[in-house]
Structure 1
C-alpha cells in the first residue's frame, strides 16, 4: 500500500507540477539556486581540475565548497516531497536490479546507479534498464493520456509544463536548477548525480539516453540533455531534438578521472 501511495504522490506531482506555483516553494528553490551560484563564484568556477588534482593550492577552498554544497543538499533532502521522490526512485532501481541497496537516502541512489552500470554489459542495456525504471514511476495509462491531452493538442504548453516540472521535481536528484529566459531550457547548476557517481557512463546511459527516450516515446515531446563534464552543469533543452548519437559530443567523452567504474564503464556510443 505504501508503494502505491508513493507512486501516486510522484505521479500527482508530475501532472500538477506540485509546488511550481507556490510562492514558498519558488522562494526556497530560488534560495537554493542563489546559494549554489554564490558557492560557484567563491570557488572561481566549477572546474573539474579543481576536484581531481590532489595537492592543488585551492584544496581548502574545495573543502569549503563541499561543505556549503552539503548544506544546500541537506535542505533539499529535508523536503518531505523530495524524500518521497528519492525513496520511490531508489525502490524502482532496486526492483530492476533485484537487490536492495546497503546505503540509505541519496547514497542509495548513487550505489544503485553504479551497480547498474557495473552489472550490465553495454550502454544499450543500461539505457534500456534505466528507461524501464522511468516508465515504472508512472501508471501504465499515463503516457497515452499525456500525449492525447497535452503533447498533441498543446505542444508548446506541454514543453513549458515539462520544463517547469523538471525544475520543481528533480532538484532532489540533480541539485539546484532554474528555468532560463526562453521558458524551455532548464539549467542544472551542478549536477549532483553526475558529480557523486563520478561516471560518464552513468550520466549518458542511466540518465541522458533514457530520459531523452522517455520524453520522446512516452510523453511525445523532444528534449535534448546537454551535460558539461568540465563543470558538472547540464541543460535540458525542451523542444530540441537530440542530435544523432554519432554526432553527440556527450556520448564520445572519456571517463572522468574520478570515475569508480573506469575499468568496466561503457560510456560512448561506439561501445554499445
Structure 2
C-alpha cells in the first residue's frame, strides 16, 4: 500500500492476562486452513430475565447505554487457530506484545492501536494487517474474481462465503435478500450481533478498525463495492455487496455517539470516531 504506520518498533505494550486460564500456544507460521474457517462456532447468549433490549439510546446525555446481556462463545480448536493467527498478525504489525488469550487478545491489541493512532492511520494499519492475514489460496481467488464483472453471481457468492467463513470473527450471520437494480438478490449478510463490536464496546473501533478499512480492502482487492451498515442499538450489522458506501460525512455510522460503558473509558462521545 506504500503507507508507513508511525508506530515505534521499540515501544512494547505489556497487558496483563484477563483470565487465569493458560493461553493456547498456537502460533502458526501460515494462515489458517480453509477447513478451519468453515466450521461455525458454538455460542450461547445469556440474558437477564428483565432485559428486553441489549442496548438503548440516551439522547439526553448523548451516549448509547449497554445492558449486561452478552454472548458467550465456545470456539473449537480450529477457530482458536484462526483467532490466534489474526491476533499474532495484528501484534506483529503494530510491534505490540499482548498476552491476552483468545478473541480478547484481538480486541485488546486493537484498542491499543486505536489509542495510539489517528483515524486515518488506524485504517491504513488494518489494511496492512489484512494484506498479511489473507491466506495464499485467497490471493489466488482474488486474481480470479477480479476478472469477473460485478455480477449477481459475484455479489451472492461473497455473501454466502462471508456467512460461512467468518463466523468466528463477527459472530453468527445469515444471507438476506435485497432489491438491487430492480431485481431481488441475496447479496446481504446480516450479522445478528457483531462479536468485535460487542467485545470492544466502542463505536470508534467499529468504524475505524473494521467498517472503513474492510470496505476499502474488498473494493481494491476484489473489485466489488461493499457497504457495511452497523446498528449500534442492537450491535447487529448488514454487509451489502455491490452497494457503494456513502461518503463519510453522509454516513449515519459517523453521526453516532459512543457507548456509555465504552471500554476505552476516557472517550464517551463522537470523539471515539473522529
Q: Tell me which interval the TM-score lies in, with the shorter structure as reference length.
A: 0.7 to 0.9
Q: Please give the secondary structure, in 2, of the residue aligned with 1:48.
A: strand
Alignment of 1:6-45 (within 5 A): 7=31, 9=33, 12=34, 19=38, 43-45=51-53
Q: Supply the distance in 1 between the matched residues of 2:123 and 2:200 (Cα, whole angstroms).
A: 16
Q: Which has the higher strand share?
A: 2
Q: Which has the higher helix share?
A: 1
Change (3 A) 1:260 1:147: closer
Q: Supply the distance in 2 between the matched residues of 1:248 and 1:49 (Cα, whole angstroms).
A: 19
Q: Supply the distance in 2 between the matched residues of 1:45 and 1:258 (Cα, whole angstroms).
A: 16
1:131 aligns with 2:122: no
Q: TM-score, normalised by structure 2?
A: 0.74
Change (3 A) 1:147 1:227: same
Select which of 148, 152, 171 maps to 2:147.
152
Contact 2:32 2:81 in 1 (8 A): no
Q: Supply the distance in 1 between the matched residues of 2:254 and 2:126 (Cα, whole angstroms).
A: 16
Structure 1: gaps spanning 5 or more residues = 20-24, 54-61
Q: TM-score, normalised by structure 1?
A: 0.74
**Shift of residue 262 of structure 1?**
5.0
| Match of residue 237 from structure 2 | 234
Aligned length: 234
- Across the aligned residues of Structure 1 and Structure 2, the Cα RMSD in angstroms comes to 3.1
| Match of residue 65 from structure 2 | 52
| Match of residue 210 from structure 2 | 207
| Match of residue 57 from structure 1 | none
Q: Supply the distance in 2 between the matched residues of 1:42 and 1:216 (Cα, whole angstroms).
A: 43
Structure 2: gaps spanning 5 or more residues = 1-26, 59-63, 178-184
Change (3 A) 1:245 1:88: same
